[in-house]
Structure formats: structure tokens, C-alpha cells
Structure 1
């Protein structure tokens, strides 16, 4: 989206396969929309490395994201 996040707010948590996932809403400086990142609540790993969600992710989307991340190991530590 934009080039700089001006606010980040926790908007929800879900437990998927025994892991607590946090959904964070991001507001960008130079973009009108919002984006949503998913973070592992225990480790702080960012699970939406390649692309954020445009809307709050549903439980089935969180399951798919976690399953894909576990298969290929695409998480990264939070900056």
C-alpha cells in the first residue's frame, strides 16, 4: 500500500491449530485503504509476509495462512 505505516492496532485474536493468531489493522500514510496483518501471538512472527489482507481475515483464511506458512516456513520476525 503506502510507504509508511502511521498506525497499527490489534483488532482481534483467534486460536488456530493451538496457536494464537493476532490480527493487526494497519493505516498507511499515503494510501486511503487499510490492510490487515496476521502475527503469531506467542512468537511475534509476521505470518502475512508476502501480502496483507484487505479486510479482516475470516477463520478459514487464517487456517489456510497458517497451514501454508507451516509447509514452506514463510514467517518472519516483526521489525
Structure 2
């Protein structure tokens, strides 16, 4: 039974990998009709959005999770 499950898992993994490799690209370069992309982000805006904001969100959530445990009677 164990060998059969391993073979099934391998087949499913191989099929999923092949389907992902054979799928068409996102075509992000080609614009659709009616699309109006805005101006790009600067380096500072990009770092703030994708680096600083997640770190701040993590710290706020971690602080809120630790808050109840810090109050001792």
C-alpha cells in the first residue's frame, strides 16, 4: 500500500508540474484595450510598500499578540 500511495503522489506532482510549465505566460508586457497603467513607483515608494510596510504590520500584530501576556496581576 505504501508504494502505491507514493506512486500516486509522484504522478500527481509530475502532472501538476507539467501543467504549470506548459501554461501560457501572463503576457504582462502586452496591454489590453482600455487599460490605463499609472506611473511607476520610485525606489523609495517600492521599498516602503514591499519592505517597510510588511515589517511594521508584523511588529504591530506581534505587539498586539504579546499585550495580553504582559499584564500580570
Which TM-score applies when normalising by structure 1? 0.20
Which one has the bigger strand percentage?
A: 1
Which TM-score applies when normalising by structure 2? 0.22
Larger radius of gyration: 2
Which one has the bigger helix percentage?
A: 2
Instruction: Tell me: higher relative CO, structure 1 or 2? Use CA pairs within 8 A at least 6 residues apart.
Output: 1
